[in-house]
Amino acid sequence: MYSKILILRFPKTEVQKPIVCHLARDFDLMFNILNATILPRKEGIMVLELSGAKKDFKAGVRYLKSQGVAVQNASQEVERDEAVCTHCGACTAVCPTGALAVQRPEMAVDFNQQRCSVCELCVTACPPRAIKIKPIRQIFFE
């Protein structure tokens, strides 16, 4: 089983189409939508975890691109500034994947980049604003 967290950017001409549903039906892929903002007649953005056989995954990504969807790997989008972080733990309360967790007995916040879904809930929850969304690695799938 091959799995990646992807950021999909839909052009405004494609947001009304059930493109993601075709991934399951036509390419035998499983998807979990982690975050989405898709509005009629405007560009849409969706963060999803896509899983399946590697050959199906590649075929599904080719399909998305053929529909005008920009496909980007999301693994390096969140950055935490250790110098600014006060380890208050507010971000851990909203993190749905457990990527941010309090380590005991030190009571320090630990960030596991691999578990991050780039849902952005931690950005607004962080009082000192130590967490930012950064397009550090722009990996587009071909």
Tokens of 81: 């500034």
CATH 3.30.70.260, the chain: domain bounds: 2-73
Give the least confident one: 9-13, 31-35, 59-63.
Answer: 9-13
Burial class (CB in 10 A: 0-12, 13-18, 19+), 131: buried
SS3 9: strand
Averaging pLDDT over each range in 8-12, 16-20, 56-60, which range is the top one?
56-60
2-73: which CATH topology? Alpha-Beta Plaits (3.30.70)
CATH 3.30.70.20, the chain: domain bounds: 80-131
The pLDDT tens digits for 103-134 are: 999 999 999 887 887 778 898 999 999 998 77
| pTM of the complete model | 0.55
**Class level of CATH domain 80-131:** alpha beta
